[in-house]
């Protein structure tokens, strides 16, 4: 069936009309999309321009030949050029030589080989400003292609000149600090070496002074006036020793080499003994010396009693020094610290000259005293309070001062001293007895100075030792190869061969001799020196000037125990005339004489510790027994004390000190020599 042609025409017109309408709609949509893209591109360009123009880093765009196409404001600031001066020119104008001349070849090499020098690799380079000066730049370069496919480069750089300058200054400061530290260490080593040398040189003559003074007081039959002179020499020697020890202690504290020891001790006993040491000074100045311990403080506490005594002695000596009338008081009271710890506060108060406010700040500084005239008037190093402050701080306490000019001073300090259990009791005199009984070994005494050997030999012979002397390390080795010894006392600084070298050779010898105890006996007393002696093979150390008690204590540690040995035969000395005792034994028998000695020992133990008036009474009571038993030096001192008049009052403190020395010596003789002698089977049977 055929349709009408009109209807086809109508359909075609409709299709054409519809098609034109569709085409117009598509063209409109395409135009709208292009407009949108242009807006996005404009927005992107604006954003890019805003970033580039406000960036703090320089941004430079160059083509493949190095011609600058963009130069942002930060680049203008950094290089000193305007964009107009740079755009269109080769970027090498911003480089110093030799980079300027070689830049084009760098680009050519990259284009040909793709070998990177800077592109895609951040690194630090040197730039050139318009004025010809150079600057340091952190530079990174990115490669990209524009819309036409042309190769371009964007360089982003930051001026790090100031940073590098600061780094250089810091490096220089570190180098300077390093040099200063090395110089300080060298200076400290020099100071330590100087201190060691001076300590050794001072201690050597001190040993002669203290040693011969001790021997003279123990063995000489001296008049009252002569004994007073000996006492004055002792006092002067002790003052000099205190100064040397103060300097050494301060050096240890500064170097962090001073360590506190902790043990149980009686606080009351420690304070009593400390006060007793300065009692003669108080008596000489007619000062009243008092001490109190609060009842709430435990009887036994734990801490370093030796260092506490040192602090109290420093404070007491200062109080005595600056007080001419009145009282010096020591007190100990419990208190609660700010951190809740239980503390004990010690205070030393005086009625002396006082300290002004402006001078108090200097009080605890090293080598400083409140007034420059003080050292001229009273002496001293100005280290005592500085050492005390460091010791208190090591203990975990504080120290301070309250004072008013003309009315006196109180220096106080705190220390944590927890309660402790009482230590095992040891009978008084037992250590002395044990020491003297065991000190019958054979000792090699090595020292190049004859006077030193003489002093130590006298001490050792008093203790019953068999002593052989050597004047050098070489001689000591020869004697050790030929004889048997129980102990070597070895000096360090000697000609021919020093003590350290000799000890090393001893440790290489064959047989038992290589294990013999060797004790360094020297004025080298710094901790690092002592450690070097131990490292060299020595067993222990005893410092010069040699003190009798310390020497005996070292012998007790290292000599073989010989407590079971038979008592030595009695021998006379200025301290003891054995003939009188022998006569007494013959007349009364050993048992009765032993009983008399025990009573006398008990009577003597507490003498010369109280005031001078009591000491004179005690001296009177000792005269008969001392004479009968043969203790003639003690008898002389008792007679001197009994007969002293008010006109001789200045000599009394010295006599009391001599009396205490004689008392200790007699007690040791009774315990270690006379009583064992009376207990011998033959005498017991006869008695």
Hey, is 32 helix, strand or coil?
Answer: helix
Mean pLDDT is lowest, of 117-121, 338-342, 502-506, 645-649, for 645-649
Q: Is the dihedral of CA 391, 397, 398, 402 positive or negative?
A: negative
Domain boundary residue, one of 127, 159, 191: 159
pLDDT tier for residue 637 given thresholds of 50, 70 and 90: confident
Q: Is residue 194 part of a domain?
A: no
Q: Return the closest-CA partner of residue 279 out of 582, 657, 666.
A: 657
Q: Per-residue pLDDT tens for 166-197? A: 988 999 999 999 988 888 888 777 776 776 67
Q: Return the closest-CA partner of residue 60 out of 51, 74, 71.
A: 71
Query: Same domain for 542 and 616?
Result: no
Q: Is residue 227 part of a domain?
A: no
Dist. CA 381–CA 679, nearest whole Å:
53
Residues facing 155 on adjacent strands: 60, 141
Q: Is residue 115 part of a domain?
A: yes
The pLDDT score that the predictor gives to residue 6 is 42
Q: Report yes or no: 418 and 302 within 8 Å, Cβ to Cβ.
A: yes
The pLDDT score that the predictor gives to residue 124 is 85
Q: Per-residue pLDDT tens for 74-86? A: 999 999 999 999 9
Element (H, E) at 621: helix 612-629
Question: How many CB atoms neighbour CB 560 within 10 A?
Answer: 10
Residue 528 makes CB contacts below 8 A (sequence gap 6+) with: 192, 257
- Over residues 393-400, the mean pLDDT reads 91
Tokens, residue 378: 């009273």
Q: Report yes or no: 330 and 346 within 8 Å, Cβ to Cβ.
A: yes
CATH number at residue 62: 3.30.450.20
Q: What percent of the chain has pLDDT over 70?
A: 77
Residue 629 makes CB contacts below 8 A (sequence gap 6+) with: 580, 581, 584, 596, 597, 600
Query: Same domain for 402 and 263?
Result: yes
The pLDDT score that the predictor gives to residue 37 is 67
pLDDT tier for residue 382 given thresholds of 50, 70 and 90: low
Dist. CA 319–CA 351, nearest whole Å:
8
Average pLDDT, the chain: 78
Q: Is residue 117 part of a domain?
A: yes
**To which residue do tokens 């460091």 refer?**
390
CATH number at residue 463: 3.40.50.2300
Query: Same domain for 34 and 79?
Result: no
Dist. CA 286–CA 320, nearest whole Å:
11
- Tally of structural domains, the chain: 5
- Over residues 308-322, the mean pLDDT reads 88
Q: Per-residue pLDDT tens for 534-562? A: 999 999 999 888 888 888 888 888 887 54
The pLDDT score that the predictor gives to residue 617 is 80
CATH number at residue 279: 3.30.565.10
Q: Is residue 12 part of a domain?
A: no
Query: Same domain for 360 and 300?
Result: yes
Q: Is residue 420 part of a domain?
A: no
Query: Same domain for 279 and 409?
Result: yes
Dist. CA 263–CA 535, nearest whole Å:
28
Among 207-221, 289-303, 347-361, 572-586, which range has the highest average pLDDT? 289-303
The pLDDT score that the predictor gives to residue 343 is 92
Hey, is 604 helix, strand or coil?
Answer: helix
Q: How many residues does the chain have?
A: 687
Query: Same domain for 502 and 399?
Result: no
Residue 683 makes CB contacts below 8 A (sequence gap 6+) with: 585, 590, 677
- Over residues 491-501, the mean pLDDT reads 90
pLDDT tier for residue 104 given thresholds of 50, 70 and 90: low
Tokens, residue 633: 């030096």
Question: Is residue 447 predicted with pLDDT exceeding 90?
Answer: yes
Question: Is residue 21 predicted with pLDDT exceeding 60?
Answer: no
- Over residues 460-472, the mean pLDDT reads 88
Domain boundary residue, one of 130, 159, 188: 159
The more confidently predicted of residues 532 and 655 is 532
Q: Is residue 502 part of a domain?
A: yes
Question: Is residue 309 predicted with pLDDT exceeding 60?
Answer: yes
Mean pLDDT is lowest, of 299-313, 359-373, 591-605, for 359-373
**Alpha helical stretches, state H, 153-223:** 161-219
Domain boundary residue, one of 382, 415, 448: 415
3-state secondary structure 487-503: EEEECCCCCCCCHHHHH
Query: Same domain for 378 and 519?
Result: no
The pLDDT score that the predictor gives to residue 222 is 73
Query: Same domain for 351 and 304?
Result: yes
The pLDDT score that the predictor gives to residue 399 is 92
Query: Same domain for 411 and 481?
Result: no
The pLDDT score that the predictor gives to residue 567 is 42
No. of H helices and E strands in the chain?
24, 17
Q: How far is CA 519 from CA 45, 134, 248, 455, 530, in A?
A: 91, 70, 21, 17, 11
- Over residues 444-468, the mean pLDDT reads 89
The pLDDT score that the predictor gives to residue 545 is 85
Tokens, residue 436: 């003297």
Q: Per-residue pLDDT tens for 260-296? A: 888 898 898 888 878 877 887 888 888 888 999 999 9
Query: Same domain for 532 and 603?
Result: no
Dist. CA 306–CA 313, nearest whole Å:
10
Query: Same domain for 47 and 101?
Result: no
Query: Same domain for 147 and 74?
Result: yes
Q: Which domain holds residue 658?
A: 578-686
Q: Is residue 212 part of a domain?
A: no
């Amino acid at each position: 069936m055929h349709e009408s042609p009109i209807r086809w025409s109508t359909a075609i017109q409709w299709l054409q009309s519809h098609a034109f309408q569709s085409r117009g709609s598509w063209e409109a949509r395409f135009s709208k999309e292009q407009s949108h893209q242009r807006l996005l591109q404009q927005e992107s360009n604006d954003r890019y321009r805003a970033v580039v123009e406000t960036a703090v880093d320089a941004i430079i765009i160059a083509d493949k030949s190095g011609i600058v196409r963009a130069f942002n404001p930060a680049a203008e600031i950094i290089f000193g050029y305007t964009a107009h001066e740079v755009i269109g020119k080769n970027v090498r104008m911003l480089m110093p030589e030799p980079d300027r001349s070689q830049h084009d070849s760098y680009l050519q090499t990259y284009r040909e080989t793709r070998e990177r020098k800077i592109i895609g690799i951040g690194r630090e380079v040197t730039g050139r400003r318009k004025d010809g000066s150079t600057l340091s730049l952190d530079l990174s370069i990115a490669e990209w292609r524009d819309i036409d496919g042309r190769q371009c480069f964007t360089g982003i750089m930051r001026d790090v000149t100031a940073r590098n300058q600061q780094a250089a200054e810091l490096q220089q400061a570190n180098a300077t600090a390093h040099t200063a530290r090395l110089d300080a260490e060298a200076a400290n080593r020099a100071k330590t070496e100087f201190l060691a040398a001076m300590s050794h040189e001072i201690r050597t003559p001190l040993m002669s002074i203290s040693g011969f003074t001790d021997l003279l007081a123990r063995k000489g039959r001296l008049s009252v006036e002569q004994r007073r002179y000996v006492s004055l020499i002792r006092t002067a020697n002790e003052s000099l020793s205190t100064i040397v020890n103060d300097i050494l202690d301060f050096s240890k504290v500064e170097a962090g080499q001073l360590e506190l020891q902790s043990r149980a001790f009686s606080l009351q006993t420690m304070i009593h003994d400390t006060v007793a040491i300065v009692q003669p000074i108080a008596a000489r100045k007619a000062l009243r010396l008092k001490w109190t311990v609060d009842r709430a403080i435990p009887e036994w506490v734990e801490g370093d009693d030796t260092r506490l005594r040192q602090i109290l002695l420093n404070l007491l000596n200062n109080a005595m020094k600056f007080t001419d009338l009145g009282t010096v008081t020591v007190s100990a009271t419990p208190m609660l610290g700010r951190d809740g710890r239980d503390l004990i506060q010690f205070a030393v108060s005086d009625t002396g000259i006082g300290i002004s406010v402006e001078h108090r700040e200097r009080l605890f500084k090293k080598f400083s005293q409140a007034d420059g005239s003080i050292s001229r008037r009273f002496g001293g190093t100005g280290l005592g309070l500085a050492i005390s402050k460091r010791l208190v701080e090591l203990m975990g306490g504080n120290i301070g001062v309250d004072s008013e000019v003309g009315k006196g001073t109180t220096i106080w300090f705190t220390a944590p001293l927890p309660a402790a259990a009482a230590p095992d009791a040891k009978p008084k005199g037992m250590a002395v007895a044990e020491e003297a009984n065991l000190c019958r070994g054979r000792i090699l005494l090595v020292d190049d100075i004859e006077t030193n050997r003489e002093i130590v030999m006298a001490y050792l012979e008093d203790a019953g030792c068999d002593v052989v002397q050597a004047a050098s390390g070489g001689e000591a080795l020869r004697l050790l190869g030929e004889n048997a010894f129980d102990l070597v006392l070895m000096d360090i600084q000697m000609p021919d061969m020093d003590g350290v070298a000799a000890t090393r050779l001893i440790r290489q010898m064959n047989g038992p001799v290589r294990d013999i105890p060797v004790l360094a006996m020297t004025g080298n007393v710094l901790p690092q020196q002592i450690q070097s002696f131990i490292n060299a093979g020595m067993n222990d150390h005893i410092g010069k000037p040699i003190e009798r008690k310390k020497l005996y204590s070292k012998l007790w540690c290292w000599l073989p125990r010989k407590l079971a040995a038979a008592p030595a035969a009695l021998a006379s000395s200025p301290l003891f005339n054995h003939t009188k005792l022998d006569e007494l034994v013959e007349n009364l028998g050993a048992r009765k004489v032993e009983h008399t000695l025990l009573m006398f020992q008990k009577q003597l133990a507490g003498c010369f510790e109280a005031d001078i008036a009591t000491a004179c009474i005690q001296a009177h009571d000792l005269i008969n027994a001392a004479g009968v038993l043969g203790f003639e030096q003690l008898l002389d001192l008792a007679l001197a004390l009994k007969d002293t008049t008010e006109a001789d009052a200045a000599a009394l403190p010295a006599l009391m000190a001599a009396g205490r020395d004689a008392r200790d010596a007699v007690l040791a003789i009774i315990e270690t020599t006379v009583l064992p002698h009376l207990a011998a089977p033959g005498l017991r049977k006869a008695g």
